Structure 1
Amino acid sequence: MLVADTYLGHRNDDAVAEAVDTSDHATVVLSDTERRRSRVRTETTDNRDLGIVLARDLADGDVLEAEDGTLVIVELAAIEAMILDFADSDVSPTAALELGHAVGNRHWNLAVRGQEALFPVTDSKKRMEAAVADLLPADVPTRYEHVPPTTFDDSGVDHSHSDGDHTHGGHSHGGTGHSHNHDVRTIDGGDQ
């Protein structure tokens, strides 16, 4: 088995690009879950058994080096996202807040691209659509598209609660501390 345990950098870095161009390299396509694990056993695109042992999240274009000197280029498998397009909509602040509150309570990650809200499909499409149906203005179309999993990275809006009973947003929490992570990332039109 080929074991990649050294991070060299990104294939867009000049020195790394030169090393890739002058080597017999392998390519691996990782899922969003696999790219976040410190140990992964998978296969390269040419069916070689591959182990990845790194304590870091991987991004599309990262280059790793195996123990035998083989370079491994990381590609990320696209994930499906539900997209709400607000471009031609006159959404009221109240409707926007109600929708934001509803998806926040479901702990959906969110990326904003121009006037679109993107949510990774983590449940059935039917359930996700039902969750927003009553809150979504009629002039806001919904569609699906495949996006890089990194679309939802680097967002981390977190609110934590200490011990004790409390109420917020129409629901109560009691006793032990807990944390909510509501991830929001704003991306430009070219970062798809």
Structure 2
Amino acid sequence: MILIEQVLGNTKEVLWKQKLDSARIDWLVLDQWEAQKNRLRKRTSGDLEVAISLDRNTHLHDGDILIWDEAGSSAVVVKTELKSVMVIDLGNVATQSLEIILRTCFELGHALGNQHWPAVVKGSKVFVPLTIDQKVMSSVMRTHDFSGITFEFVPGEDVIPYLAPHETRRLFGGAEPASHAHPDHVHTHTHAHGHSHS
């Protein structure tokens, strides 16, 4: 077993792109729950057991390089499998009267809370992880027919650069299946987004 306490770099960096171009890559595949942890033990696709022990408040990202063997031209690289995210855009609502802004935001928060969908608000956008089938989530949004609100689904990896680490954990960690959910997630999200307790 190999202990990993820091990330060497990322495949998106120019220097590493060149190094890895002809290298043999062994993938450490993480689902979205594992990707939020700073401590875990797992086997790579090549059956190498690694123990991750990163600093608190840090986690692994897609493309992170954990091991580099210069002589053997091989590397262990993280591959995250994050679900898509619904991005709700409130930009058009922001130009309306205060009354309409408040009503729309309250109704949206109530709708998300009733569905038990975790969410992260960043600027005029609301990020909601895919917790059920995308068609069902689209149907729920269309049923409410929120005036001035648009939404789209984007890959989780595309959203991460816009979020702080704690927001990423909240977004993807909060979308855990019921068997993995933590009580603090439930309280954090339901109270913050107008969940009705009726």
- Structure 1 residue runs of 5 or longer lacking an equivalent are 158-177, 185-192
- Structure 1 residue 130, shift from structure 2 partner: 4.2
Are residues 24 and 124 of structure 1, via their aligned partners in 2, closer, same or farther at CA, if it must alter by over 3 Å?
Answer: closer
Cα distance in 1 for residues equivalent to 2:124 and 2:109: 14
Match of 2:196 in 1: none
Query: d(CA) in 2 for partners of 1:128 and 1:84?
Result: 12
Matched, 1:93 2:102: yes
Hey, what does 1:60 align to over in structure 2?
Answer: 62
CA contact (8 A) 2:26 2:44 kept: no
How big is the alpha-carbon RMSD for the aligned residues of Structure 1 and Structure 2?
3.9
Q: Which residue of 2 aligns with 1:77?
A: 81
Q: What is the 5 A alignment of 1:1-192?
A: 3-11=1-9, 21=19, 24=23, 26-28=25-27, 29-36=29-36, 38-43=40-45, 48-56=46-54, 57-65=59-67, 71-89=75-93, 90=96, 92-104=101-113, 106-112=116-122, 114-148=123-157, 150=160, 153-155=165-167, 179=184, 180-182=187-189
Tell me if structure 1 keeps the 8 A contact 2:5–2:53.
no
SS at match of 1:60: coil
Q: Percent identity?
A: 23
TM-score, normalised with respect to structure 2 = 0.56
Judging by fraction of residues, say which structure has more strand: 1
1:154 to partner: Cα distance: 0.8
Task: Give the number of equivalent residue pairs.
Answer: 153
What are structure 2's unaligned runs of at least 5 residues?
Answer: 171-182, 193-198
Structure with larger Rg: 1
Given that 2:42 and 2:51 are in contact with CA atoms closer than 8 Å, whether structure 1 keeps it comes out as yes
- Match of residue 168 from structure 1: none
Instruction: Output the CA distance in 2 between the equivalents of 1:50 and 1:181.
Output: 37
Structure number having the greater helix percentage: 2
AA aligned to 2:42 is V
Contact 2:4 2:53 in 1 (8 A): no
